[in-house]
Structure 1
Amino acid sequence: MSFICGLPILECVYCLGCARWVWKKCLYTAGYESENWGLATAEEFEPVPRICRIILSVYEEDLRNPQWAPPGGYGMNPDWVVLRKDYEDNQGRVTPYMIYLDHDHAEIILAVRGLNLAKESDYAVLLDNKLGQAEFHGGYVHNGLLKAAAWVFDAEYEVLQDLIAKNPTYVLIFGGHSLGAGVVALLTLLALHNRDKLGIPRNKIRCFALAPTRCMSLNLAVRYADVINSVVLQDDFLPRTTTALEDVFKSLLCLPCLLCIMCLKDTCTLEEKMLKDPRRLYAPGRLYHIVERKPLRIGRFPPVVRTAVPVDGRFEHIVLSCNATSDHAIIWIEREAQWALNLMLEKDQEMEIPPEQKMVRQESLAREHSQEYRAALQRAVALDIPQAYSPSSYGTFHELHDGEDSGGSERSKGSFLSNKKRTESWNDFVGRLFDIDDSGHMVFKKTNM
């Protein structure tokens, strides 16, 4: 009898708990994820809107007579397009892509566009995740996207090799959007592990993944943060959902229902359990989060770009927002990225920074990124992330030693560097607290009272 009387109380507690969860989720916005990240600078963010326009140009059949050009045009020279491959050329292995030789910025750009939903049934190989994740150099990656990236590399590495040989000072950039972002992220891993074929040093390779799908395990996502950069606009759902790509695109019509289910599942899963799962996939590399909306406010605000190499709290929760799908569109990403870049440049002009100080700031930015990268690797080790190890040199700004890369360094070498750093820190700590007297014994330092 007493048990039956307690049922209404349990029901009330349950309803209050559900109401609290819904209320928190309705108030939760994507800006909370990156509120403690640092602000991006114009120097590091400058390529993003330009790469967006190049990816958009892949949708054009004739660049000389564009039909969907953004305001101001693509800013491209059609004569510098090395090759373009459409669905028919790619045999259904990958979405259309382009290789563009940008002489104005000394860049060789391979741009891969996102999936055309009208072609989904013909190119389902990209969405095939039934075989799970594929193992790749001490981590896991999306199996279907790895196949697509391997196909592109095998098809185009000779073209890239020739362009690099003719333009040895140029930077090789891989850029992609949505599904194409996952392809170029894994293509970058293949290029880094086959640099002997391309004939290019590691610090000349970069990747910009726009609205990327989760395509690699956490240890790989952090380990290659010196080369791969992911750009996410506010509430974009794809970098946050762990659902198989095949299910996402097949259930597009009932996507809100799917996102609610995934949101509930991720909320009820302990973060420690998620981090310890070696097969759980994440958005790759360094993250750039464009925030241009605030909670309980209507309309868009001047965008702010925050950046970090997070380990825990790495876009783990889906945001219940009416903009979750529109923020995924590359058109909106290009507009907001260009607006954000213009604001950064205006701020720099107001400060009137001379060229010499700009060079100093670029060097300090490289050091800050290097320190942040090392801290992320150490954080991954501290959290016992599977197959994570202590950092080596930061490849983007400092060339690695021969035969060493961020994905192939031996764990013992990483441990040696970690132990050496720990020893030096201990010696500094002892030196601050103790002095050595005439007899050779350590005594506490005297402090002035």
Structure 2
Amino acid sequence: MSVACCIPIVECVSCLACVRWVWKKFLYTAGRESENWGLATASEFEPVPRFCRYILSVYEDDLRNPLWAPPGGYGIEPDFVVLKKDYGDTQGRVSPYMIYLDRENRDIVVAISGLNLGKESDFLLLLDNRLGQTKYDGGYVHNGLLKAAQYVLEEECEIIRELLERNPDYMLTFAGHSLGAGVVTLLTMLAVKNREKLGNIKRKRIRCFAIAPTRCISLNLAVRYADIINSVVLQDDFLPRTTVALEDVFKSLFCFPCLMCIMCLKDTCTLEEKMLQDPRRLYAPGRLYHIIVRKPFRFKKISPVVKTAVPVDGRFEHLVLSCNLTSDHAIIWILKESQRAFDCRHCWKASRLWIFR
């Protein structure tokens, strides 16, 4: 057989392989990673929209006259905001944050905002990492995020301890989005390991909600802290799935869609057994909540479904080809869909109880 005859055959085989690969990638938009997970209850998912609102409020300069408040407002009482710090206060060591005394829900909340594309300090913080560079508590963690978490704990441990002593029945909750989600994850682990700095608070009074988190801790730590750390991912969000060095992402000369395709090819061609055997590999932390709002090849959204599990493998290992992979990372969309998911789940539960009476 001549070379000229072989070329069309090779092209056909290559095309079929590409079509199969693209088909597999599109299937992940249906929530394939979480298809075998259980459904989250309304009661355990209830805090998520509330903490999304608190995180959003960190971006406001004046909470009494908010500029970007979503419908219904932030649910914040400005008089109970204990402190609020911006980039000038933190000198770029961490993104803006606030401490809020939530009297209605008996909660002391430390909320940290996400990555600001206009702040070089945020990029330097996110890029301060190398695979396996930093060991902590028997595992591996993101170096830059650990430094930021240590800074917050050292700066605010006195205030947090005083609040806990004054309110002995309150929870201590750390909440953050994107970059802030990684910081609060490490901050929660530091709080657990240094409880004497916080008045010897019991572990069960500490919890964390990491909204659209970056991959920041090794698998053994992700599972060990799953009782107090919760990660929330909206359908196709790219960041919890980004396994390559983030430095390569932001320094790449490729356009973002091309980079996503290259990363997809890489994680498709790499054997999962090889990936999962590396103890330095970082993951989305804790218990996972996956909000599903779309099905493949459907333009209309479905009623939201929230799946949850503490998987020991398959923690969003594959990037998906989706036009929503960046929009699903936005805190405002996560707030809207999490609220819609809670309302649907809550109403469904209430109607079921009414039927069985």
Is the structural similarity TM-score above 0.5?
yes
1:296-375 equivalences in 2 (<5 Å): 296-352=297-353
1:129 maps onto 2:125 in alignment? no
1:21 aligns with 2:21: yes
What CA deviation, in whole Å up to 9, does each residue of 1:233-276 have, x standing for no partner? 01100000113334444559822111111111111111111110
Equivalence for 2:100: 100
More relative contact order, 1 or 2 (CA 8 Å, 6+ apart): 2
Whether the aligned pair in 1 keeps the contact of 2:177 and 2:210 (CA below 8 Å) is yes
- The alpha carbon displacement at 1:2 in A equals 7.4
**AA paired with 1:327?**
D
Distance 1:230 1:123, change over 3 A: closer
Q: State the match for 1:86 in structure 2.
A: 86
Identity of aligned residues (%): 70
Residue 307 of structure 1: how far off its partner (Å): 0.5
Q: TM-score with structure 1 length normalisation?
A: 0.75
Q: Do the aligned partners of 1:129 and 1:245 also contact (CA within 8 Å) in 2?
A: no
Counterpart amino acid of 1:90?
T
1:156 maps to 2:156: yes
1:317-349 superposed Cα distances (whole Å, 9 cap, x missing partner): 001100000000000000111111111221232
The separation in 2 between residues aligned to 1:54 and 1:315, in whole angstroms, is 26
Cα separation, partners in 2 of 1:253 and 1:47, compared to 1, 3 Å: farther
> Residue 125 of structure 1 aligns to which amino acid in structure 2?
L
Q: Distance in 2 between matches of 1:344 and 1:249?
A: 38
Runs of 4+ deviating beyond 4 Å: 1-8, 249-253
Q: CA contact under 8 A between 1:175 and 1:209: conserved in structure 2?
A: yes
CA distance in 2, matches of 1:253, 1:77: 45
Task: Give the whole-Å Cα distance in 2 for the aligned partners of 1:162 and 1:28.
Answer: 46
Distance in structure 1 (CA, Å) of the matches to 2:30 and 2:138? 31
The answer to whether the Cα contact below 8 Å between 1:92 and 1:125 also exists between their aligned partners in 2 is no
Q: CA deviation at 1:5?
A: 6.3
User: Which amino acid in the other structure matches residue 16 of structure 1?
Assistant: L
SS in 1 for 2:180: helix
C-alpha distance in 2 between matches for 1:238 and 1:123: 15
Task: Structure 1: state its 5+ residue gaps.
Answer: 354-449
CA distance in 1, matches of 2:213, 2:224: 17
Structure 1 residues 211, 130: CA separation in 2 closer, same or farther (over 3 Å shift)? closer
Q: How far apart, in 2, do the equivalents of 1:2 and 1:125 lie?
A: 55
The residue that corresponds to 1:215 in the other structure is: 216
Deviations 1:42-96 (A, max 9, x none): 1101110000000000000000001100111111110000000100100110000
In 2, the alpha carbon distance for the partners of 1:86 and 1:247 equals 28
| Structure 2: distance between partners of 1:277 and 1:256 | 28
Task: Report the CA distance between 1:11 and its aligned residue.
Answer: 4.4
Task: Say how many residue pairs are matched.
Answer: 352
Query: Counterpart of 1:268 in structure 2: which amino acid?
Result: C
Tell me: CA distance 1:88–1:39, structure 2 relative to 1, closer, same or farther (3 Å). same
CA displacement at 1:33 relative to structure 2? 1.3
1:28-51 alpha-carbon deviations (Å, 9 max, x no partner): 324111111111111101110000
The alpha carbon displacement at 1:176 in A equals: 0.1
Q: Determine the C-alpha separation between the residues in 1 that align with 2:330 and 2:254.
A: 16
Deviation at 1:15, TM superposition (A): 3.3
Q: Structure 2 stretches of 5 or more lacking a match?
A: none
- The structure with the larger Rg is 1
Q: What residue number does 1:276 align with?
A: 277
Whether the 8 Å CA contact 1:93–1:125 is kept in 2: the answer is no
Change over 3 Å in CA distance of 1:160–1:261 after alignment to 2:
same
SS of the residue 1:324 aligns to: coil
Equivalent position of 1:175 in the other structure: 175
Aligned residue identity for 1:234: Q
| Matched position secondary structure for 1:140 | strand
Q: Is the CA contact 1:84–1:98 (under 8 Å) kept in the aligned structure 2?
A: yes
Amino acid at match of 1:13: V
Query: Separation in 1 of the partners of 2:238 and 2:307?
Result: 18
Contact 1:128 1:143 (C-alpha < 8 Å) held by counterparts: no
In structure 2, distance between residues paired with 1:249 and 1:30: 28
Residue 176 of structure 2 aligns to a residue whose secondary structure is strand
Cα distance change on mapping 1:228 and 1:252 into 2, 3 Å: farther
Partner secondary structure for residue 231 of structure 1? strand
Q: State the Cα distance separating 1:297 from its structure 2 match.
A: 0.8
Q: Counterpart of 1:415?
A: none
Q: 1:252 to 1:156 in 2, by over 3 A?
A: farther
User: Which residue identity lines up with residue 236 of structure 1 in the other structure?
Assistant: D
What amino acid does structure 2 have at the position aligned with 1:258?
A: L
* Alpha-carbon distance in structure 1 between the residues aligned to 2:121 and 2:197: 32
The code of the aligned residue for 2:38 comes to G
Report the TM-score, using the length of structure 2 for normalisation: 0.94
The verdict on how the C-alpha distance between 1:162 and 1:250 changes in structure 2, with shifts beyond 3 A counting, is: farther
**What do residues 261-310 of structure 1 show as CA deviations (whole Å, max 9, x unaligned)?**
11111111111111101111110000000000011111222211110111
The answer on whether the counterparts of 1:52 and 1:334 sit within 8 Å (CA) in structure 2 is yes
Residue type at the aligned position of 2:334: I
